[in-house]
C-alpha cells in the first residue's frame, strides 16, 4: 500500500491545453457585439494617470436588469486609475471582463476606501481583472448588499494585491446575504486578508485553483463556510485560514511557510466540522501547531503530510478546545516528517487512527494549481449578427438558432457560438449532434426559452465530442425538459455557468442525462437546476458546483462508471436526493437545509451499489432523516452538521428490506444520538459528537474490524472522487 507521500498522480487522459504558474492568464478577446467597451462607450483612458472613475461608473450605469439590455462591461488592456468607489446596485446578471493580467484597476482614492461595491449584484461574473490597492485601498470588491440576495456570483482569473483590509470582503454591513459564491483561479498577494466573510448566512463559498501569497490571512471566515480545493497558500503571516462555527473542507491544498494552516474561532457554542484531505503542509511557524481547532465538531484528516515543523514543536494538529468541550479527530494516512506525535488531544480530546486505505494522490511541494494560460476560440459566430436571431422575447428564433448550431457544428472545435443578452423563444427542440464547439452567452440573461405546444426539450445534446455549454439559461415553459443529453458513443461535454430555468428552480424544469454509455465524460464547474441522471451508470460524470433543489439518480444500467459531485447546495424540497435501482453516488461537501428529509434510496435488480455522502450542513426537519427501501449496498454519511439546536428527537435512518450496511462517521448531532434501523452487525458509528448534550463520541457500534473496514471504504470513495477531480482540474475554468 502506497503512502500519501509516495502515491502516483492520477491518470490525466482528459487534460486541457493549459499551463499552470503564478500569474493569471492573458485573455486576448474578440470583443462581442453587445459588450460595452469602457474606452469607446464612456471615454475611459486606461493610461494609469487619468482618473477613470466617472467613465467606468458611467459604463456600469448602462447595465440593465432584464434580458436584452446590456449585460457585459469590457475593459481593454490598460491601467485604469480609480479615485472613487465604483457601484453595481440591485442587478441580476452581469459580467465585468478584462484581458487578465493586462487589465489593471489601480486605486488612487482615500485611504481604506473600497474600489468596487457590489450592492445586490446577483449572478454576476468578474473575469480577467487585476485589482491593485496600491497599499492604500481597504477593499477590492465589497459584497455588501442592501437591496438583493446575492447568489451565484463568479470570481474568475482575478488578482488582488496590496489591500489594507481584504481583496474581497463579504458581509461587512449587509442587510441581505451574499452566498453560493465561486472563487476560481484567483491570486491574492500581500493583503491583510485575501477574502473575508463577516456575516451569518454567507454560506457555500467554493475556492478552486487559487494562489494566496504573503497575506495576513488567506481566508478569514469569521462567519459563513468555505470549501477549498486545488489551491496554494504561502507565507501567511497569521494563518492560511480562520474558520468559524460551521463545516469546512480543504482538499488538495499546499501550504508553505505560513505561520499556521488552520485556526478556528473559540467559544462555548463553537460547533462545526473540518475535513482536510490530500494536503501538504510544510514549514509552519506557530508553536501551537499547523492546525489548531477549538470547535466541538469532529476533525477528519486523511492522506496528508506535515513536514518541516518548528524546532522542538509538538504535534502539528492540536485539539485546543477547553475542558468543558469534547472534540474528536479521525486520522488516516497522515505523516509527519521527521516522525513524531501527530495529534495533541488537549484537555479533553479523542483520536481514532484508521489504516491508510487505498493509495491517494498528494500534491508535491511545487505543484501549481493556478492556470496561467487560456485558449480562446479562433472564430466567433454571433446569433444576432450572423444568424439573424432576434432574442427579443417575441419572435420565434427556432430556425435562426438551429442554423447557427449547424454552422458551428460544421466549423468544429475552436468555434464559439455567442448569444448576446436576450430571450430567444423557440417552438421546437434545438438539436446539437456530435458537436465539439462552444455555445454561451452573457450568463443568466442569455435565455433560450421554449413555450407553447409540444413537450420536447429545449435543447437535445447527442454524442457530444468536446462540446461546451456555458453562461446561459435554458427554460422549458411548456412542461418539457430544459436540456436532455443522450448518446451511444464515447465523448465529452462541459457545462459551465448553465441554468436549467429562467425564473425559479421551483418551476420543476429538469436537466436530464439519459442513457449515457461507457467512455462518456460529463463535467461541470457550475450547473444550476433540477437534475435527473438515468440509465447512465456506465458513464463518468463529475460535477463541481451543483445548485439543485432536486437530484434524482436512477436507471437500469449497472453503476460500473462513476458518478461524483464535489460540491452541492440544496433546499426547499421534500427529498433533495433520491436514488433508485441500487445506483451509486459519491458526493462531498453537500449543504442542505429547509427540507423535511435528506434522501431516499431504493433497490432493484441491479448489483449492489454504494452511496457515500460527505456533508457540511445536513438539516432535516423530520425525525427520520433518510430512507433505505430495499437498497443493497453500503451507505456512509460523514462530516456533517445534522439538524438544528431545537431538535429534541432521535435522528433516525429508516431501513425497509434490502441488504445495507450503514456507516455514520465524524458527524455532529444536536441533543440526541442517532439510530439506524439495520442489523447491529451492519451499522458502524465512529467518532460522532452530540453537541447539545453529552459532548462524547459514541465509538464503534459492533466489531472493531468491521467498523474500521466500513470507515476505510467510505474514505476510499472520497479518494476516488478526489483523484478524478485532480486529473480533470485542468478543464475546470472558463474559456468564453
Question: What is the per-residue pLDDT across 586-603, written as a single tens digit (0 to 9) for each?
Answer: 999 999 999 999 999 999
| SS3 of 578-616 | EECCCCCEEEEEEEEEEECCCEEEECCCCCCEEEEEEEE
Instruction: Classify residue 410 by burial, with Cβ atoms within 10 Å: 0-12, 13-18, 19+.
Output: exposed
Q: What b/e readout covers 639-652, taking b as 16+ CB neighbours within 10 angstroms? A: bbbbbeeebeeebb
Question: What is the per-residue pLDDT across 248-276, written as a single tens digit (0 to 9) for each?
Answer: 999 999 999 999 999 998 866 667 889 99
Q: How far apart are CA 497 and CA 673, in angstroms?
A: 40
pLDDT at 14: 32
Question: What is the per-residue pLDDT across 410-439, written as a single tens digit (0 to 9) for each?
Answer: 999 999 999 999 999 999 999 999 999 999
DSSP state of 507: G
pLDDT at 453: 65
Helix H or strand E encompassing 371: strand 370-371
Looking only at the bridges linking them, the beta strands covering 465-476 and 510-514 are: unpaired
Looking only at the bridges linking them, the beta strands covering 675-676 and 430-433 are: unpaired
pLDDT at 604: 85
DSSP state of 26: B
Instruction: Using alpha carbons, list the distances in angstroms from residue 95 to 82, 151, 153.
Output: 19, 14, 10
Phi, psi of 724 (to 5 degrees): -65, -40
pLDDT at 268: 63
Place of cell 438583493: 148
Return the sign of the alpha-carbon dihedral for residues 114, 118, 123, 128: negative
DSSP state of 682: G
Which has the minimum average pLDDT: 146-150, 188-192, 293-297, 391-395? 293-297
pLDDT at 4: 38
pLDDT at 710: 84
Which comes out higher in pLDDT, residue 247 or 657? 247
Which comes out higher in pLDDT, residue 725 or 85? 85
Instruction: Classify residue 382 by burial, with Cβ atoms within 10 Å: 0-12, 13-18, 19+.
Output: middle
632 within 8 A of 658, measured Cβ to Cβ: yes
Report the pLDDT averaged over residues 373-377: 90
Place of cell 494585491: 161
Looking at the chain, the whole-number percentage of residues with pLDDT higher than 70 is 93
Looking at the chain, the whole-number percentage of residues with pLDDT higher than 90 is 72
Question: What is the per-residue pLDDT across 699-712, written as a single tens digit (0 to 9) for each?
Answer: 444 445 667 788 89
Beta bridge partners of 47: 79
pLDDT at 584: 97
Which has the minimum average pLDDT: 27-41, 455-469, 701-715? 701-715
Angle of CA points 570, 574, 579, to nearest 5°: 75
Phi, psi of 452 (to 5 degrees): 90, -160
Mean pLDDT, all residues of the chain? 90
- Judged against a pLDDT cut of 80, whether residue 18 lies above it is answered with no
For residue 581, the Cα-to-chain-centroid distance in whole angstroms is 28
Length in residues, the chain: 736
420 within 8 A of 444, measured Cβ to Cβ: no
Q: How far apart are CA 26 and CA 300, in angstroms?
A: 39
Q: How far apart are CA 124 and CA 113, in angstroms?
A: 22
Which comes out higher in pLDDT, residue 506 or 14? 506
What is the pLDDT confidence band of residue 731, given thresholds at 50, 70 and 90?
A: very low
Question: What is the per-residue pLDDT across 121-179, written as a single tens digit (0 to 9) for each?
Answer: 999 999 999 999 999 999 999 999 999 999 999 999 999 999 999 999 999 999 999 99
pLDDT at 9: 34
Question: What is the per-residue pLDDT across 356-373, written as a single tens digit (0 to 9) for each?
Answer: 989 889 999 999 999 999
Question: What is the per-residue pLDDT across 681-690, written as a single tens digit (0 to 9) for each?
Answer: 777 777 777 7
- Judged against a pLDDT cut of 50, whether residue 61 lies above it is answered with yes
- C-alpha cell, 356: 491508510
pLDDT at 270: 65
- C-alpha cell, 634: 453500503
What is the pLDDT confidence band of residue 507, given thresholds at 50, 70 and 90?
A: confident
- Judged against a pLDDT cut of 90, whether residue 400 lies above it is answered with yes
Report the pLDDT averaged over residues 328-338: 91
Nearest to 375 by CA among 19, 126, 729, 96: 19
Phi, psi of 187 (to 5 degrees): -120, 135
Beta bridge partners of 291: 262, 317
The SS3 call for residue 352 is strand
pTM metric for this prediction: 0.95
Q: What b/e readout covers 155-192, taking b as 16+ CB neighbours within 10 angstroms? A: bbbbbbbbbbbbbbbbbbebebbbbbbbbbbbbbbbbb
pLDDT at 17: 62
What is the pLDDT confidence band of residue 1, given thresholds at 50, 70 and 90?
A: very low
> Which residues 6+ apart lie within 8 Å of 163 measured at CB?
131, 133, 137, 138, 139, 140, 191, 192
Q: How far apart are CA 716 and CA 634, in angstroms?
A: 13
pLDDT at 508: 86
Report the pLDDT averaged over residues 180-204: 96
What is the pLDDT confidence band of residue 7, given thresholds at 50, 70 and 90?
A: very low
pLDDT at 8: 34
What is the pLDDT confidence band of residue 375, given thresholds at 50, 70 and 90?
A: confident
Report the pLDDT averaged over residues 657-673: 84
Question: What is the per-residue pLDDT across 611-659, written as a single tens digit (0 to 9) for each?
Answer: 999 999 998 889 999 999 999 999 999 998 887 777 778 888 998 877 8
pLDDT at 610: 95
- Judged against a pLDDT cut of 70, whether residue 534 lies above it is answered with yes
Instruction: Classify residue 258 by burial, with Cβ atoms within 10 Å: 0-12, 13-18, 19+.
Output: buried
What is the rounded radius of gyration, in angstroms, for the C-alpha atoms of the chain?
25
Which has the minimum average pLDDT: 178-182, 251-255, 477-481, 540-544? 477-481
Amino acid at each position: 500500500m502506497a503512502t500519501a507521500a509516495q502515491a502516483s498522480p492520477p491518470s490525466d487522459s482528459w487534460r486541457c491545453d493549459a499551463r499552470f504558474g503564478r500569474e493569471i492568464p492573458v485573455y486576448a478577446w474578440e470583443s462581442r457585439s453587445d459588450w460595452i467597451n469602457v474606452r469607446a462607450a464612456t471615454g475611459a483612458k486606461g493610461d494609469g494617470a487619468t482618473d477613470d472613475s466617472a467613465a467606468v461608473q458611467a459604463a456600469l450605469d448602462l447595465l440593465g436588469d432584464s434580458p436584452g439590455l446590456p449585460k457585459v462591461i469590457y475593459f481593454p488592456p490598460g491601467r485604469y486609475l480609480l479615485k472613487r468607489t465604483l457601484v453595481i446596485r440591485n442587478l441580476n446578471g452581469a459580467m465585468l471582463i478584462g484581458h487578465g493580467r493586462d487589465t489593471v484597476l489601480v486605486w488612487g482614492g482615500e485611504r481604506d476606501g473600497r474600489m468596487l461595491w457590489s450592492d445586490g449584484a446577483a449572478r454576476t461574473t468578474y473575469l480577467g481583472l487585476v485589482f491593485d490597492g496600491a497599499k492604500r485601498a481597504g477593499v477590492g470588491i465589497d459584497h455588501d448588499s442592501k437591496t438583493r440576495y446575492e447568489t451565484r456570483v463568479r470570481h474568475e482569473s482575478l488578482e488582488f494585491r496590496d489591500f489594507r483590509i481584504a481583496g474581497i470582503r463579504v458581509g461587512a454591513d449587509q442587510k441581505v446575504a451574499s452566498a453560493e459564491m465561486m472563487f476560481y483561479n484567483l491570486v491574492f498577494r500581500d493583503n491583510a486578508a485575501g477574502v473575508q466573510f463577516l456575516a451569518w448566512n454567507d454560506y457555500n463559498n467554493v475556492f478552486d485553483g487559487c494562489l494566496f501569497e504573503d497575506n495576513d490571512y488567506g481566508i478569514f471566515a469569521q462567519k459563513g463556510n468555505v470549501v477549498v480545493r486545488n489551491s496554494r497558500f504561502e507565507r501567511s503571516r497569521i494563518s492560511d485560514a480562520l474558520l468559524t462555527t460551521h463545516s469546512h473542507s480543504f482538499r488538495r491544498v499546499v501550504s508553505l511557510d505560513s505561520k499556521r494552516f488552520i485556526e478556528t474561532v473559540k467559544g462555548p457554542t463553537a460547533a462545526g466540522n473540518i475535513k482536510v484531505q490530500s494536503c501538504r503542509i510544510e514549514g509552519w511557524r506557530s508553536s501551537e501547531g499547523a492546525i489548531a481547532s477549538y470547535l466541538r465538531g469532529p476533525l477528519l484528516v486523511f492522506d496528508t503530510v506535515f513536514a518541516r515543523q518548528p524546532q522542538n514543536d509538538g504535534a502539528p494538529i492540536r485539539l485546543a478546545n477547553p475542558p468543558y468541550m469534547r472534540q474528536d479527530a479521525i486520522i488516516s494516512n497522515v505523516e509527519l516528517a521527521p516522525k513524531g506525535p501527530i495529534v495533541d488531544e488537549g484537555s479533553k480530546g479523542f483520536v481514532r487512527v484508521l489504516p491508510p486505505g487505498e493509495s491517494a494522490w498528494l500534491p508535491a511541494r511545487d505543484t501549481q494549481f493556478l492556470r496561467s494560460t487560456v485558449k480562446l476560440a479562433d472564430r466567433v459566430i454571433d446569433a444576432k449578427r450572423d444568424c439573424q436571431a432576434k432574442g427579443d422575447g417575441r419572435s420565434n428564433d427556432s430556425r435562426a438558432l438551429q442554423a447557427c448550431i449547424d454552422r458551428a457544428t460544421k466549423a468544429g472545435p475552436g468555434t464559439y457560438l455567442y448569444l448576446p443578452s436576450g430571450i430567444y423563444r423557440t417552438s421546437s427542440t434545438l438539436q446539437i449532434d456530435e458537436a465539439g464547439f462552444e455555445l454561451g452567452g452573457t450568463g443568466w440573461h442569455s435565455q433560450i426559452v421554449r413555450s407553447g405546444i409540444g413537450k420536447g426539450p429545449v435543447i437535445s445534446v447527442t454524442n457530444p465530442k468536446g462540446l461546451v455549454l456555458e453562461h446561459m439559461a435554458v427554460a422549458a415553459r411548456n412542461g418539457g425538459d430544459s436540456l436532455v443529453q443522450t448518446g451511444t458513443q464515447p465523448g465529452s461535454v462541459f457545462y459551465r455557468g448553465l441554468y436549467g430555468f429562467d425564473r425559479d428552480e421551483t418551476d420543476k424544469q429538469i436537466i436530464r442525462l439519459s442513457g449515457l454509455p461507457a467512455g462518456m465524460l460529463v463535467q461541470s464547474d457550475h450547473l444550476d437546476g433540477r437534475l435527473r441522471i438515468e440509465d447512465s451508470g456506465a458513464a463518468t460524470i463529475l460535477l463541481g458546483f451543483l445548485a439543485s433543489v432536486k437530484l434524482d439518480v436512477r436507471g437500469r444500467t449497472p453503476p460500473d462508471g462513476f458518478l461524483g459531485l464535489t460540491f452541492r447546495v440544496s433546499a426547499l424540497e421534500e427529498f433533495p436526493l433520491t436514488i433508485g435501482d441500487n445506483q451509486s453516488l459519491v458526493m462531498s461537501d453537500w449543504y442542505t437545509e429547509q427540507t423535511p428529509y435528506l434522501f431516499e434510496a431504493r433497490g432493484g435488480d441491479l448489483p449492489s451499489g454504494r452511496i457515500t455522502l460527505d456533508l457540511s450542513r445536513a438539516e432535516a426537519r423530520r425525525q427520520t432523516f433518510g430512507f433505505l427501501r430495499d437498497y443493497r449496498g453500503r451507505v456512509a454519511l460523514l462530516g456533517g452538521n445534522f439538524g438544528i439546536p431545537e431538535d429534541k428527537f432521535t435522528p433516525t435512518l429508516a431501513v425497509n428490506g434490502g441488504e445495507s450496511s450503514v456507516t455514520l462517521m465524524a458527524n455532529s448531532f444536536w441533543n440526541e444520538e442517532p439510530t439506524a434501523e439495520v442489523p447491529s452487525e451492519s451499522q458502524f458509528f465512529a467518532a460522532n459528537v452530540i453537541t447539545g448534550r453529552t459532548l462524547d463520541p459514541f465509538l464503534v457500534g459492533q466489531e472493531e474490524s468491521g467498523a474500521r473496514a466500513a470507515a476505510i471504504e467510505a474514505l476510499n470513495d472520497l479518494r476516488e472522487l478526489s483523484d478524478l477531480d485532480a486529473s480533470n482540474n485542468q478543464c475546470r475554468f472558463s474559456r468564453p
